[in-house]
Structure 1
């Protein structure tokens, strides 16, 4: 396991907000996780996967950060169609690996940047498909007693962009099992390419961003409401509502976390005043 003092977090968040932390751990095994919590029981800790759905609100954190990357991203394909995946694995790579094995079920995650752990915690998905649709069970570290446990999908309480793990932050996802199906490789690749093309057509991939900012409220489209308010292109500091799609905020000029949060609050206020809708932020504020 690697450990760094005064670690720069800029490359570990997709908004590319400049921030740093007191100490950063890069675990490569379950025993590393246990060691961190056993050796440093009194320090506050923040766990980041790919850093794709977060807003770093401060320029410096006195907390310890546990960062998951390719060092905790082992994948095994068993029984021909089950993927056993460590939490740090990237969902884009998983969709490519599924295609290489002729397995269908991961296509929608092609070009959704996320760690597998993060995808489970927030029940990531798009176009009506979610990670819960292919998940069978999760292995996690319970910080209440530092025991490793497993939980079946039906006991995780998945909701739209929510789960048992999001509500219980002392339960840390270590590994998940995904049940896929054998499919036609050409059809799988065609869907992957279609998914990617559709996203690039509407999402501001050319600027640092963290995906959709708000959950979709029942009966409304966030981007449409923001566009009707004339807020596309509206900015606070270095943060701007994307001119490509109103549901995204981009870092167009060295935005700080405070810039992004202020812009979010302005958008929420204006949407509520005009439409009576209380927008809920999808991204995790740290």
Structure 2
């Protein structure tokens, strides 16, 4: 395990917001997680996975950050169709692992910016497919008693962009098991490339961002509402409503976390005033 002081966090959040924390841990084993909470209990801890769905609101954090990334991302195929992977593995690598083993079920997650742990926490998905559709079991650390436990899919209480782990922040995902199906690798590759091409055509890739900012309200399209209100291209500080897709906010000029949050607030107010729709933020504000 690596432990650092005064850690720069810019490279650990996809908005590329400049921020620092007083101390950071980079765990490599499950035992490392237990050690962190047992031996370094002097400060509050913040869990950061791939940093793909978060907004760092402060320029400096007194809290410790636990950064779950490449150092904790091993994976394995068991029983031919079961993928076993640690929480820090990114979804692109996971979908490529499935393709390499002719396994179907993760194509939609190709090019989705997320770690596996983060995808489970928020029940990530697209086009009507969600991680819950292929997940069988999760291994996690329970901070109440520092015991490592396992929970089955049906016990997790998955909802749209929500799960047991989002409602219980004292449970840290360590490992995930996914059940896939055998398929044609050429067809899998074709589907992955089609999905990527479709995303790149619609979504902003030229500036740092963290994906869709808001959850989709029933009966409405967020991007359409924002665009109809003439908010496309609206900026506060270095944060801007994407000119390519109004459902995204981009960091086009060294935005701070507060720039992004202020822009979110303006969008929410305008949408409420004109549509009486309360937009719920999908991204996690730290």
Q: Deviation string for 1:136-178 (max 9, x for gaps)? A: 0000000000000000000000000000000000000000000
Q: Which residue of 1 aligns with 2:149?
A: 149
* 1:44-83 correspondence runs (5 A): 44-83=44-83
Work out the CA distance in 1 between the residues paired with 2:207 and 2:30. 35
Q: Which residue of 2 aligns with 1:231?
A: 231
Q: Which residue of 1 aligns with 2:22?
A: 22
- Give the Å deviation of 1:205: 0.7
Work out the CA distance in 1 between the residues paired with 2:31 and 2:172. 13
Question: RMSD of the TM alignment (CA)?
Answer: 0.5
SS at match of 2:210: coil
Gaps of 5+ in 2: none
Q: Which residue of 2 aligns with 1:6?
A: 6
Q: Which residue of 1 aligns with 2:273?
A: 273
Q: Which residue of 2 aligns with 1:209?
A: 209
- Give the Å deviation of 1:42: 3.1
* 1:171-182 correspondence runs (5 A): 171-182=171-182
Work out the CA distance in 1 between the residues paired with 2:212 and 2:139. 28
Gaps of 5+ in 1: none
The reply on whether 1:188 has 2:183 as its aligned counterpart is: no
Work out the CA distance in 2 between the residues paired with 1:152 and 1:96. 25
Moved over 6 A (4+): none
Which segment is superposed worse, 115-124 or 34-43? 34-43
Q: Deviation string for 1:227-255 (max 9, x for gaps)? A: 00000000000000000000000000000
Q: Which residue of 1 aligns with 2:282?
A: 282
Work out the CA distance in 2 between the residues paired with 1:70 and 1:220. 37
SS at match of 2:206: coil
Q: Which residue of 1 aligns with 2:86?
A: 86
Q: Which residue of 2 aligns with 1:32?
A: 32
Q: Which residue of 2 aligns with 1:140?
A: 140
SS at match of 2:98: helix
Work out the CA distance in 2 between the residues paired with 1:48 and 1:181. 31
Work out the CA distance in 1 between the residues paired with 2:280 and 2:248. 14
Work out the CA distance in 1 between the residues paired with 2:42 and 2:19. 22
Q: Which residue of 1 aligns with 2:221?
A: 221
Work out the CA distance in 2 between the residues paired with 1:146 and 1:195. 40
Q: Which residue of 1 aligns with 2:254?
A: 254
SS at match of 1:210: strand
Q: Deviation string for 1:20-43 (max 9, x for gaps)? A: 000010000000000000001231
Work out the CA distance in 1 between the residues paired with 2:127 and 2:207. 23
Instruction: Name the count of aligned residue pairs.
Output: 286
Work out the CA distance in 2 between the residues paired with 1:81 and 1:42. 43
Q: Which residue of 2 aligns with 1:98?
A: 98
Using structure 1 for the length normalisation, give the TM-score.
0.99
